[in-house]
Structure 1
């Protein structure tokens, strides 16, 4: 049977032979059209080109050479050359973008090295007479905290206006972060009992976390590492809350101190009902009041407002009734119902001792009797002044004692005029 492409009368005798007879069908499916010729890797020079000196018969057709007559005639790259150059340009562009992004590094690590360390002062207030006791509700009703609000409701925000470099929403954000810090550090039951510190830690600038962690694990009254400078914490071996409804009153104010910094100042008094750690249950007649006055200064930059964190710049705390001889850096040790002052002056300080000195060793105050015992009838019968005689006068050794100090209730919140 004849195959398309064979001569009509068959293959003439004597014309075949060699390898063609052994492989008659090898090239039957190949169509030698124009596309096939253009795709060939070797191209034969024209007769005129071969007449030149040292001319070769063929040349290689790479991806860079033209594929048609248009490419050979006018020197313009052919389709293959254009595709090759486009591929190279794409690879070069991708490499350049990768290098640019690698050098620019769009990931910006959190700024944590510019925060200033906290400077704190904690002043214990000693009572001048026996500490009154009773039920928490009765004690609150007879104290200056009778009109205070309960919990976070006592922390109110002032009127808000924008500053030169901070919008109104940014000012609101700073005030709300400051309020969150006060709530977590002064009202959270786990923080107050000393079993947790993370609710406060997550609100701090990363640059202060190392100082905060050291203050929690190794508190010291050196003005930098007092745990009670960061938060309110009771010594779990001494006292516990007798009522979770803490009374609060105070103010917040804000001020722009630079184009990059907004400062919020807080001034609040917190009144806690406490009982002995191993004494009667909560709500018993053996409860007493413990007052903490906290004046904080929190600094915010634009990044802090975005990440909802604060830099606690300074903290001034007065707390009592306590014994002046007790170090309040690790936790407050309230004098409980019926207890009287054991010392008037602060603990002794040895100027020859090595190590970090206790910078607040000479700071101690005496609570105003009206704040410590607003109503004599609130004193339990068993708490008749064991120290009915007046407390001893401070001698030369007590020169560091501060006169009677009473944590006054701050004035009601008022609108604050921002700088600028």
Structure 2
């Protein structure tokens, strides 16, 4: 009913509705927990914090998580960072199977859904306490680069707030409480980009953040058409997707300001952030990082995240990799970790005739919106006019619901003219290397 009222309301009322939601978000995030965390971050050494927080995090988890109470029952009472190899690894499948036993709280749980790179649904529960601390760290990071809370901010995010039947080219809404202009990532096609640029020129944000692809698409249009911006942001903070050198250069050229990358995850992994010198720093106040060499200076990351007190992530195999400047010594310390770049996957997108490259952030959001019960989902594109969507389900009752729901969502978010071949399979197709991927792009051409 609320959504129906919102969709039928004029845009100025929709802005009010979003701002009212903004009041709720503000109270949830910017509370005494946020203020305390920000004070600690500004006053204490991060590596000293890491040591203290590791001990208290493990102690809290053992006491409050039935899963870890049993898993760690044979270990001594106080566990420090030097004991980390005594702790068991945590996999995504274990979280799926045991999340109700892993959680440490029964009240105030906030489900944080993710489809991951494999397309499997994964639910991690967070809590206002965890979220406030994470937001505090993000604001601490941004403040280092001159951007403070309350400044004018333009965000390119995955929330759906533009009604499907809207005729006007107003693909943004205002959150007056946070001084934030929210742009829809689902309408940022080449023919609509000019409207985004015109609104940015009118709003004149002091910072821009959000999905990398959309910010890049806007920047590329600005540079290609030599559009003069009437504002200059202090900094830009892309999220959700890998930031390549080419993409970063294009964005910095268009907006005439520095771009600062950041890495985390929807599960709540500890942060890795770009510094003034253009390479990456771990953020020890947010977690502990273990690196396992794959080849050369490329390492897979296993994380223990201090901002996940609700669904504790201890030695969590997140499945991501980084490239270091130098090979780590055998007995490396946290301060030895010097990251050159965060590794991304090639062809982690589909190609639409109408919207160009459509990356995993949009497709992941689409999967989360799909109605019906399913275990896994996968997108395969072998030709421009067809996308194969594979679902693994336990029963047969939801087939029609799933098929209808995903097709309708893809028409809006990908293309009206594309044929969607929805298949229900026992297992998902793997790559030549034997990996199950969320997106398999078999097209033989790159779009500019």
The alignment's TM-score, normalised by the length of structure 2, stands at: 0.21
Larger Rg: 1
Query: Which structure ranks higher in relative contact order (CA pairs < 8 Å, sequence separation ≥ 6)?
Result: 1
| Structure with higher strand content | 2
TM-score, L = length of structure 1: 0.22
Q: Which has the higher helix share?
A: 2
